[in-house]
Amino acid sequence: MDDGLLDRRMLLTATLGLAAGMTFPAAARTASERIDALLARMTIEEKAGQLSCFNDDVRPVDAVFNPVVNPRSAAAMLAEVRAGRVGMLFNGYGVAGARKAQEAALASRLGIPLVFAADVIHGCRTTFPIPLAEAAAFDPDLSERACRAIAREASAAGLHWTFAPVVDIARDQRWGRVAEGAGEDLLLNRLLAAARVRGFQGDDLRANDALLATAKHFAGYSAVTGGMEYGAVDMSEATLRELFLPPFAAAFKAGAGATIASFTTLNGIPVTANHWLLTRVLREEMGFTGVCVSDYDADRELVAHGVAENEADAAKLAITAGIDMSMQSGLYNRHLPALVAAGRVPMSMIDRSVRRVLALKEALGLFDNPFRSLDVRVERRAVKREATQKLARDVATRAIVLLRNDGDLLPLPRRDTRIALIGPFAADRANTGGPWTFAGRTQDAISIEAGIRALLADPDALTVEPGCAIEAAIPGGIERAVALARASDVVLLAIGESAAMSGEANSRVSITVPAPQQALAEALAATGKPIVVLLRHGRALALEGAIRDASALLATWFLGEQTGTAIADILFGVCEPTGRLPVSFPFSTGQQPWSYDRPATGRPAPASQPMEGGRSHWRDAPDRALYAFGSGLSYTRFTLSNVKAPAEVLHDQPLVIQAEVTNTGTRPGTAFVRTDLHIRIGEASPIRRMAGFTHVHVEPKKSVIANVLIPSDRIHYTISAPRGDHSRDLKLTVMLNGLDKYSADITVSNH
């Protein structure tokens, strides 16, 4: 590594605090006498059991998330628990079954309690919007409140631990798990990682309603080649440290007590066997002291990767790299005792991981109260609370992004308008939740049709026709839809992705709307009726033809059980649209991966001649996004004026930007004011990144002063590394609703 890159790495590491001992406080304490005493009594088989976690076959949920590996009956699993061969059960639901499993654990020789975990990604019984949709609110406080409500409900159903939040920065929309994170921006990912951890865990991990958080997937998981799930990741160390580690650092600083290792390879080495990443970086540099879990069967998959000779070798590689708990494969139970006996794995290494697992259980209060969060009375009153459902509706409404509104077609009147609701998602409830709806029920979901009818003065003014299925034509469907459109004043077109088209193992080669739906849109456009597209999706999509050119376009994501009410609230102006895109919508799939903060090229194409020869461009698409990160409209219009930024700021002081926002329209609205920074001259191509943002509510014909506060640490990590003689020259850009409005130069001074 050259000296310049090494200096850059050291600067960024120091700036982010990666070596500052960010710890899971309870697990970081000196092990208690109870843990010392337990370790002294444990056999190697019991130690391996504490390091083994399995699917909860005692209280299974009616969903399949992974390939079937190592299946057990409920009776067989309870027998394993009584034998002390299980440390954690995951993806089960309900207090009654959890109590039965915990009783079995307490009947084991040492009586070490189980910890119950699950992939509670965006709700439990109450399904909230997917995390990507929630990110569109650009509101860490809202994210924290949502996760706090989710934790209360999940813990009431017998859970102690969630495998969330996903903090993988997602810049390739072909990758299915874009849906589970906060999008493409570094700052938004850092802020929401911390907010979600605080929300899940609350103020006291021993509290009955606390849910241990897991920052995942460590690290670089989302940068798979071609967007292919579980594929290879190849990136520079500088990119790993600058872009992919900081959200984990934020989550750990907020107290996240666990992480899950990435399924993928990183620069040729499977992460599950990557000692440099899981021990040197995660433990020694970042100071993480919590529990590191393999992903589902990932340790056994080291054989398929070609780095392990057999399962025993795979178990050795995983525990040596830093994997504390083996998920589902059973490899630790089967092979660690023999590996220790043969001297291939030292007992001290096993004890280190067992201490971490036992410290986690102690931090959750399970030794003192093994039946914590296992009260059927609490379960009855805390699940599906009215306040939780109300919050889910608020998050869903805040998540919707208005991308196009020609001629102010929206909001629609609630009377005297004939509305045709067309598309495969018009009356659909099964696909409202999106991927990873852990315990939600379809019958609880409110369809778009139901939400709209509830707000119309005359519910019969709405007529509904699917037109086509999600990925197939329906005989006569387009003809019926066209006839319905011609008899109506406006068409609402509910199209997009099914829940099965996003999420884990759902990568897409082409991120367009399926062909049958595109054909339906083209036929409806030919009627000349105004069309409002209600787009359902778990990623940014490449929109084409009649969908791209519709009169109005709303990004509605997977909004959870309150889908219909939230969409209706926006359509009819009960609520103003305030969402902004956390991911950029490309012109074409071929532009992936894409992000707004790409490094500059030496031959940029001028805006006036984007296809000029010899310049950086595609021959068949502009070198820009269709809708860039941060885009989003309101039902009113704003102007930005009187921007005030200091010409100089001290390096350890915050930067404060002031701007006057005026609502020039006739409706109240919320403006999104964002500030980007980049260094003018750097050792690498300067990157312009968001450094701060705020929302301001403004009444019609009124003005409000917006203040954007940028802490000093953000000034450093958003600007890339400076070259020595230009270390204090920054470029600042202030944007209103995603559009550049103001630029200025700022000097960062050391004195």
492 close to 419: Cβ distance less than 8 angstroms? yes
Close Cβ partners of 516 (under 8 Å, ≥ 6 residues apart): 468, 469, 470, 471, 472, 473
DSSP string, 117-175: EE--SSBSSSBPPPHHHHHTT--HHHHHHHHHHHHHHHHHTT--EE---B------TTS
Smallest CA-to-CA distance from 631 within 397, 423, 379, 404 is with 404
User: Helix, strand, or coil here: 359?
Assistant: helix
Cα 558 to Cα 226, 395, 435, 468: the distances in Å are 24, 12, 8, 20
User: How do strand 490-496 and strand 552-555 relate by DSSP bridges?
Assistant: unpaired
503 close to 179: Cβ distance less than 8 angstroms? yes
Tell me the C-alpha distance between 644 and 658, whole Å: 5
What does DSSP assign to residue 604? Answer: B
DSSP string, 435-502: S---S--GGGPPPHHHHHHHH-SSGGGEEEE--B-SSSB-TTHHHHHHHHHHTSSEEEEEEE--GGGS
Close Cβ partners of 732 (under 8 Å, ≥ 6 residues apart): 645, 657, 675, 676, 677, 743, 744, 745, 746
Tell me the C-alpha distance between 538 and 224, whole Å: 18
Smallest CA-to-CA distance from 50 within 141, 142, 143, 113 is with 113
Tell me the C-alpha distance between 114 and 748, whole Å: 53
Give the strand order in the sheet containing 490-496: 401-405, 552-555, 531-536, 490-496, 419-422, 462-465
Tell me the C-alpha distance between 672 and 618, whole Å: 31
Please name every residue paired with 692 in a beta bridge, in sequence order, or none if there are none. 675
Residue 600 CA from chain centroid, whole number: 27
Taking each continuous run of H as one helix and of E as one strand, the counts in the chain are: 24, 25
- Which residue stretches of 29-111 are H helix? 33-41, 44-50, 74-82, 95-106
Is 295 catalytic? The answer is yes
Close Cβ partners of 118 (under 8 Å, ≥ 6 residues apart): 56, 90, 91, 92, 93, 154, 159, 161, 162, 163, 438
Amino acid at 297: D
Helix-helix angle 347-363:331-341, to 10 degrees: 140
Which residue among 168, 185, 295, 428 is the active-site one? 295
410 close to 550: Cβ distance less than 8 angstroms? no
- Residue 494 phi/psi, 5-degree rounding, is -95, 100
User: How do strand 214-218 and strand 258-261 relate by DSSP bridges?
Assistant: parallel
Amino acid at 229: E
79 close to 106: Cβ distance less than 8 angstroms? no
In whole angstroms, how large is the CA radius of gyration of the chain?
26
User: Helix, strand, or coil here: 748?
Assistant: strand
Residue 231 CA from chain centroid, whole number: 19
Just list the catalytic residues: 295
